[in-house]
């Protein structure tokens, strides 16, 4: 009986929201500029955010509109003081190049390389995703040992496991995950040396808050170039190391991330709507709370309509 009531309630709410949406897009004229927000009006009125008007409005962030809202790393602008080594997402190297000591240099296809894949990730808040340490080498290797540094206020590492390229690897004692300082120290040794290209390590992370994090891949004091040779001896020749980057932000209406704001996103918005404004009822990936005020309400509805129309 309870389940039936819940389903009926959701259906009624969805129909009401759809009718409201059709009324809004069909009868409410586009607001003039400038507009005067009136949160105390009944119903409340809010000026739709307009990216590019040099005002950081409600619902805009330095990720969604870097021209209006200033921030540091993660605003898609390679600003003074930033480089590919400090903010890869803003200062991405061109194809065929990689970042070395803060500068983009040409890759040497004959050198082994170790990289974070995908190199750039843009998940929502409270989303879990898998990252991989990928190896590409012509010469046979016997294992790897690395450190991964990250922004622990933005992401946390849930687990580290062998990837398919290292499926037969052995794990020595001493591997650690430190989510307080933002560091992973890990090593694997192969039972049979191999060459080729593949994902050696899978790192599962969860996003914690809005922001950006470099994924700074490094060697250790024992294995400075990350890889060991077929005899298990640290490689002395140069290894190309390619870092990664994560930018965490909430979706601005395109909740299913298919490139458009449409009726499917509207259904997700309906699910996210809360009558009591309780932030605990928000979906874990903050769908619906477009203005970031910890609830989903009529103000978010107006901004969603603007995103759909625009």
CA atoms within 13 A on the CB side of 283: 19
Across 4-18, 197-211, 266-280, 293-307, least confident range: 4-18
Q: What integer pLDDT is reported at residue 261 of this predicted model?
A: 83
Which residues are within 8 A (CB) of 129 and not within 5 positions of it... i.e. 6 or more apart?
Answer: 121, 123, 204, 205, 206, 207
Question: Which contacts (CB < 8 Å, 24+ apart) does range 132-135 have?
Answer: 132/163, 132/199, 132/200, 132/201, 132/202, 132/203, 133/163, 133/199, 133/200, 133/201, 133/203, 133/217, 134/165, 134/197, 134/198, 134/199, 134/200, 135/165, 135/197, 135/198, 135/200, 135/227
Across 224-238, 239-253, 289-303, least confident range: 289-303
Tokens of 30: 């586009």
User: Per-residue pLDDT for 128 more than 90?
Assistant: yes
More confident residue, 300 or 144: 144
Q: Average per-residue pLDDT in the chain?
A: 79
pLDDT-based confidence at residue 283 (cuts at 50, 70, 90): very low
pTM, two decimals, is 0.68
Highest mean pLDDT among 19-28, 88-97, 294-303: 88-97
User: Per-residue pLDDT for 35 more than 70?
Assistant: no
User: Per-residue pLDDT for 310 more than 60?
Assistant: yes
Average pLDDT, integer, range 194-207: 97
Q: What integer pLDDT is reported at residue 94 of this predicted model?
A: 92
Across 95-99, 187-191, 225-229, least confident range: 95-99
User: Per-residue pLDDT for 131 more than 60?
Assistant: yes
Average pLDDT, integer, range 14-42: 49
User: Per-residue pLDDT for 263 more than 90?
Assistant: no
pLDDT-based confidence at residue 274 (cuts at 50, 70, 90): low
More confident residue, 125 or 121: 121
Average pLDDT, integer, range 58-83: 67
Average pLDDT, integer, range 212-226: 95
User: Per-residue pLDDT for 187 more than 80?
Assistant: yes
User: Per-residue pLDDT for 279 more than 80?
Assistant: no
């Amino acid at each position: 009986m309870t389940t039936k009531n819940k389903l009926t309630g959701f259906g009624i709410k969805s129909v009401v929201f759809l009718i409201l949406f059709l009324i809004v897009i069909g009868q409410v004229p586009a607001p003039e500029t400038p507009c005067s927000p009136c949160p105390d009006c009944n119903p409340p009125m809010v000026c739709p955010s307009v990216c590019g008007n040099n005002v950081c409005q409600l619902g805009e962030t330095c990720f969604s509109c870097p021209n209006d809202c200033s921030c540091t790393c993660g605003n898609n602008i390679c600003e003074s003081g930033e480089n590919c080594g400090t903010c890869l997402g803003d200062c991405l190297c061109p194809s065929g190049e990689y970042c070395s000591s803060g500068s983009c240099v040409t890759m040497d296809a004959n050198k082994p390389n170790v990289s974070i894949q995908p190199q750039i990730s843009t998940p929502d808040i409270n989303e879990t995703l898998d990252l991989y340490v990928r190896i590409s080498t012509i010469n046979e290797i016997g294992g790897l040992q690395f450190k991964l540094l990250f922004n622990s206020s933005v992401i946390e590492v849930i687990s580290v496991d062998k990837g398919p390229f290292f499926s037969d690897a052995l794990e020595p004692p001493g591997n650690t995950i430190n989510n307080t300082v933002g560091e992973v120290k890990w090593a694997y040794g192969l039972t049979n040396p191999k060459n080729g290209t593949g994902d050696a390590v899978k790192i599962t992370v969860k996003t914690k808050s809005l922001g950006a994090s470099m994924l700074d891949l490094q060697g250790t004091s024992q294995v400075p170039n990350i890889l060991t040779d077929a005899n298990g001896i640290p490689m002395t020749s140069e290894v190309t190391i390619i870092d990664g980057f994560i930018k965490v932000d909430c979706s601005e209406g395109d909740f299913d991330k298919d490139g458009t704001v449409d009726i499917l996103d509207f259904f997700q918005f309906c699910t996210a709507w809360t009558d009591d404004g309780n932030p605990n009822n928000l979906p874990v990936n903050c769908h619906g709370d477009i203005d970031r005020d910890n609830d989903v309400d009529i103000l978010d509805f107006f901004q969603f309509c603007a995103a759909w129309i625009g």
